[in-house]
Amino acid sequence: MSMSTDHIKMLCDISELSALFAEDSLEELLQKVVDMVADHMRAQVCSIYLYDDHSDMLTLRATRGLKSESVGQVQLRSGEGLVGIAFYEKKSICEASGSSHPNFKFYPNIDEELYDAFLAVPILRGQIGIGVLVVQRRKGDSFTEQDQMALKATSSQLVSMLENIRLLFHSRDRQKPYSFKREEVTSPEFHSYRFMKGRSGSSGVAYAGTIVLGAGNAEKPLFDVSQDSGIDSVKFEEAIVRTERQLDSLQAAVEERLSDAASLIFGSHLLMLKDPSYVGSMRELMRRGVHPVAAVQQIYQQYLAIFEKSEAPMIREKVQDIKDLTTRLMDNLIGSSREEQYIADHILIARELLPSDLLRYSAENVKGVVLVSGGVTSHVSILARSLQLPLVIINDASLLRIPPETPVIVDADSGAIYLHPAADLRTRMLAQEDKKKTMTGTQDLGRCQTRDGRQISIMINVNLISDADVLSSGEIDGVGLYRSEFPFIIRHNFPSEEEQFFIYSRLLKKMRGKPVTFRTLDIGGDKILSYYEFPHQENPFLGMRSLRFSLSHKEIFKQQIRAILRAGANHDIKIMFPMVASLDDIYECKEVLQKCQQELSAEGAAYHHTPPLGAMIEIPSTIPIIDDLANELDFLSIGTNDLIQYTLAVDRTNEKVSDYYIPHHPAILRSLKKIAEAGIKYGKPVSICGDMGAKEQYIPFLIGIGITILSMDSYSVRRSKELVCRLDSEECAHLAEKMLAASTIRQVEASMLEAELIPTLGL
């Protein structure tokens, strides 16, 4: 079905309208849009609603046909009314009688009752909602399928312009009168003691005042300079020098501590500080007589507006950089008495963070983190554990409105926070944390074995090289999983072969001859590269990720394999491929490996000629062919986190379905047993490197089915070794048989509860 001549003309007119964006006010431009659409659609009403993700509200921003007073006043939540449903479900809604629909929301005194025929189309950029375009007619004049096609096409034509307008409305709505006084944001709901329960992402306890990223109290660095206290251009130049020295010092410190991960994490700050268009613009304003503080503030606002409205994700991610840099520069300019910057010594609250963000804030001495979205097994949580930074995840967006400097205890051991905690609670919890930090744990237990003498290898999962510093070399048997994606995730571009070679060599040197298993690049899903534009995927966990990405980008894959082989010369290394789905994947990986070896031989480079190869078993398709994989490979490693997720169809980062993420589900237990049997049958080692391998309630089962290698985060090693030494492998085998015989989850749990050798269930 083709569109009418009127509809095609409307699209042409809309296209020309975009060119007027810079010439009209936002209100005038939107009014032209609704007038034009209404005329071409023969509709008595046309309205545009734009979405604000901070308030989760759709606001009427322009209308023709409804009362003009309704603009800016009529608001609907996502999913509320027909407009909200069209937005939430990302689909068109066409009704001959909109007012008869059970979800229709009636607003009195705006004249909407005069128009019954209803058509709403969501305004989308990809799958990101911008707003809703609505047309309405009088009763009996329904919209046709052709009308729907035309309005959808119009929506797609308008999306870029409306996205920019939405950002400007967002900025305008939050714009305060010009002031340099540090603002205090108040919210009555947070003034008194409050306990909030979430989930632990990284253990530890911290107490400090809060700062919220992306909320009003952290949007603008505002300072009190009501009196000219001798701040002039000379002071400005001195502040520039001090700021540059601070950033250089921070960069050097973090590189010394985290050399594998600290690839210029303050680089964007330093480059901006030296950018003539940034600092030069401030100097030009000062030459015109503008006060230095006002000059800094004005250029900051200009850059912030540019970054926030950019369509490029990499540029939008610079918003926090410009805020951090301006705050640091302003502190140095006005002579702030604070020893550290505004992030330091605070509890950070944010909707979400990139791993690179977390690394930077850790370097700036943030005390703890509270996220209002994300999963316990996400890479931000994993990185927080390596940084020994307490992190709690609480799915409550009201935390983003918490006033600055609200005293908070983050109890990441239990996954809770205490707002305005009483003095005795604060003293008790901090004393417990100090005691925990000073405890030496247990003495080195040496080789780990069960009571009846079965040897169990305890290895560590490494995210950052510093993870290997937590324990003495005698406490572990090697690295069972090196997550090689971290140097990729926290950088601003793909690390080169030489950068990877340097990192891998340092890790191997630190391990002093003990075996290290390198898992090749595992990105996608919840592990996003800020510098790589992944195509839109309805379900990224089932899309282009992990080994699929590597095999689709073989130049990147080859650089990593070459770096591992070169670093592994004269070392005990293994190479493991993640998210293997078939034998064909293994054959293709072996071809890449062979080509890399041939190239290195031709170059005369030293490299490991025969690294053992293994697969991460985490996709259900590998279970029926596990014998074939065990026969083809040198070892198997079970990634329980994804195996559970994919087998049970549960997004492990979605807390709404977290109750369905059950490691002791009969299907999971029987899959683990089948993998262990294949390893025993073909004489190939099988290890566990997912979270199950460090949980006390599951270790007896794993030993009972024949698993002899457990790889875990370093902080779990001592506790796990102590447990293993108390177990008897025959008793574990008997427990495993009972658990495997159970048909239901409840029956499995009953078997576990009966077993005296399980100290803590946590079921």
Return the percentage of the chain with pLDDT > 90, whole number.
38
Query: Which residues are marked as active site?
Result: 379, 689
Dump strand ranges (E) for 218-362: 346-350
Which is higher by pLDDT, 373 or 198?
198
Q: Is 137 helix (H, G, I), strand (E, B) or coil?
A: strand
Tokens of 750: 């009953």
User: pLDDT tens digits, residue range 280-329?
Assistant: 889 999 999 888 988 998 888 888 887 777 665 545 656 767 777 887 88
Going along the chain from its start, the domains and CATH numbers come out as: 5-162 (3.30.450.40), 184-218+342-439 (3.50.30.10), 222-340 (1.10.274.10), 457-754 (3.20.20.60)
User: How many other β-carbons are positioned within 10 Å of the β-carbon of residue 590?
Assistant: 14
- Tell me what pLDDT residue 467 has: 80
Q: Which of 452, 362, 509 is nearest to 757 (CA)?
A: 452
- Tell me what pLDDT residue 218 has: 39
Distance CA 37, CA 161 (A): 15
**Token pair 């072969």: residue:** 497
Arithmetic mean of pLDDT, 83-99:
90
* C-alpha Rg value of the chain to the nearest Å: 30
pLDDT exceeds 50 at position 188: no
Which is higher by pLDDT, 136 or 536?
136
Q: Exposed (0-12), middle (13-18) or buried (19+): which is 633, by Cβ within 10 Å?
A: buried
Which is higher by pLDDT, 624 or 106?
624
Summary mean pLDDT of the chain: 81
Arithmetic mean of pLDDT, 213-225:
49
pLDDT exceeds 70 at position 2: no
Distance CA 270, CA 480 (A): 38
- Tell me what pLDDT residue 256 has: 65
- Tell me what pLDDT residue 177 has: 36
pLDDT exceeds 50 at position 227: no
List, as own/partner pairs, every contact residues 599-604 make where C-beta atoms lie below 8 angstroms and the sequence separation is at least 24, other chains included. 599/562, 600/562, 600/565, 600/566
Residue 242 and residue 445 in contact, taking contact as beta carbons nearer than 8 Å: no
Least confident of 165-179, 208-222, 401-415: 165-179
- Tell me what pLDDT residue 531 has: 47
- Tell me what pLDDT residue 537 has: 53
pLDDT exceeds 70 at position 16: no
Distance CA 390, CA 400 (A): 18
Residue 451 and residue 727 in contact, taking contact as beta carbons nearer than 8 Å: yes
Tokens of 23: 């010439």
Q: Which of 530, 510, 520, 657 is nearest to 588 (CA)?
A: 520
User: pLDDT tens digits, residue range 580-607?
Assistant: 999 999 999 999 999 999 999 999 999 9
pLDDT exceeds 50 at position 20: no
Arithmetic mean of pLDDT, 328-353:
74
User: pLDDT tens digits, residue range 73-88?
Assistant: 889 888 888 999 999 8
Residues 6+ apart with CB under 8 A from 570: 606, 608
- Tell me what pLDDT residue 520 has: 95
Q: What is the full DSSP assignment across 43-72?
A: -SEEEEEEEETTTTEEEEEEEESS-GGGTT
Structure confidence at residue 529 as a pLDDT band (50, 70, 90): low
- Tell me what pLDDT residue 4 has: 55
- Tell me what pLDDT residue 181 has: 35
User: pLDDT tens digits, residue range 360-404?
Assistant: 788 778 999 999 876 554 667 777 887 889 999 988 888 888 888
Structure confidence at residue 187 as a pLDDT band (50, 70, 90): very low
Q: Which of 326, 353, 313 is nearest to 269 (CA)?
A: 326
Structure confidence at residue 488 as a pLDDT band (50, 70, 90): confident
pLDDT exceeds 90 at position 655: no
Which segments of 410-534 does DSSP mark as H helices, in order?
423-438, 486-489, 497-511
Arithmetic mean of pLDDT, 703-716:
92
